């Protein structure tokens, strides 16, 4: 959970279902309203363009070209990040931070999601849903 009333940096806390409690808040990113995505096993979190461990320790920051700061997502295996731009979505290879490919939309996306098996990207704009097949 990211607390969006404490900038800057925003505080975040991890929920532990076994104890039904949140851990102590820790600092995350220096921006308001970042998108937040966790990987399938909770060992990594993408907060805006910054990757944190499952305990909210800083791991890596990315600078996707053209990223408008609105929407992010990542692949189920957490090897690729998807970042909204004014023209659509860029896919970033997280191992080296390079753009693998881009996807054009009619207007800037407000939300970006991957289907659970990672075979398709959904980019929602203000007026349309764009679906892109993701093949290796």
Total-model pTM: 0.85
84 domain-assigned: yes
Per DSSP bridges, beta strands 26-27 and 21-22 are unpaired
Are the beta carbons of 72 and 66 closer than 8 angstroms? no
Q: How many structural domains comprise the chain?
A: 1
Average pLDDT over the chain, rounded to an integer:
89
- Higher pLDDT, residue 89 or 12: 89
Q: What is the pLDDT of residue 102?
A: 96
49 domain-assigned: no
57 domain-assigned: no
43 domain-assigned: no
Q: What is the pLDDT of residue 136?
A: 64
108 domain-assigned: yes
pLDDT higher than 80, residue 2? no
pLDDT, tens digit, 9 for 90 and up, residues 9-54: 888 888 888 999 988 888 888 877 788 888 878 888 888 899 999 8
Cα(62)–Cα(70) distance, integer angstroms: 14
∠ CA 84-89-93, rounded to 5°: 100
122 domain-assigned: yes
Domain that holds residue 122: 64-133
Q: What is the pLDDT of residue 17?
A: 86
Q: What is the pLDDT of residue 111?
A: 95
Residues in CB range of 57: below 8 A, 6 or more apart: none
Distances (CA, A) of 42 to 55, 76, 78, 136: 9, 11, 11, 24
Residue 4: pLDDT band (50, 70, 90) is low
Q: What is the pLDDT of residue 98?
A: 94
58 domain-assigned: no
112 domain-assigned: yes
Distances (CA, A) of 136 to 11, 28, 58, 80: 36, 32, 29, 11
Which residues are bridge partners to 111 per DSSP?
Answer: 124
């Amino acid at each position: 959970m990211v607390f969006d009333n404490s900038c800057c940096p925003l505080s975040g806390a991890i929920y532990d279902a076994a104890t039904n409690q949140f851990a102590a808040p820790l600092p995350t990113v220096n921006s308001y309203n970042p998108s937040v995505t966790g990987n399938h096993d909770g060992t990594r979190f993408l907060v805006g363009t910054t990757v944190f461990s499952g305990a909210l320790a800083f791991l890596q920051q990315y600078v996707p070209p053209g990223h408008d700061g609105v929407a992010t997502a990542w692949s189920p295996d957490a090897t690729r990040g998807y970042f909204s731009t004014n023209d659509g979505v860029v896919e970033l290879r997280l191992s080296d931070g390079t753009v693998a490919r881009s996807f054009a939309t009619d207007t800037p996306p407000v939300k970006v999601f991957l289907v659970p098996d990672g075979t398709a990207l959904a980019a929602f704009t203000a007026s349309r849903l764009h679906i892109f097949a993701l093949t290796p």
